[in-house]
Amino acid sequence: MECHVLSFCSGPSLDVSKYVFILQACKYSLRLLGPLIGSENMNNMFQKILLEDAALHYGEFMNDLSKVIVSTKKEPKFKV
């Protein structure tokens, strides 16, 4: 199974414990980015789901994120 560490996934061939700090940094970065995207629903999702020590299933996260993006009437924009 091929797996990218930054995509929060795990598998039998990947020892996630070696990369916990990267996973936590990615989650933290997305939580900081959330308010800047311009989508309240996406920001709420990031703040609730991307907790530092919480387990995250990448496929479910991407599925839920896709639903939020599609349901957003306007295209998410970064506030500068």
Mean pLDDT computed over 32-46: 93
12 within 8 A of 1, measured Cβ to Cβ: yes
Residue 76 placed within a domain: no
Range of the domain at 20: 5-71
Q: How many domains does the chain have?
A: 1
Confidence of residue 18 (pLDDT cuts 50, 70, 90): confident
Q: Reply yes or no on whether the pLDDT at 20 is more than 60.
A: yes
- Tokens representing 15 are 């020892």
pLDDT of residue 57: 87
* Domain presence at residue 79: no
pLDDT value of residue 2: 38
Number of other residues whose CB lies within 10 A of the CB of residue 66: 10
Q: Looking at the domain assignment, is residue 80 inside a domain?
A: no
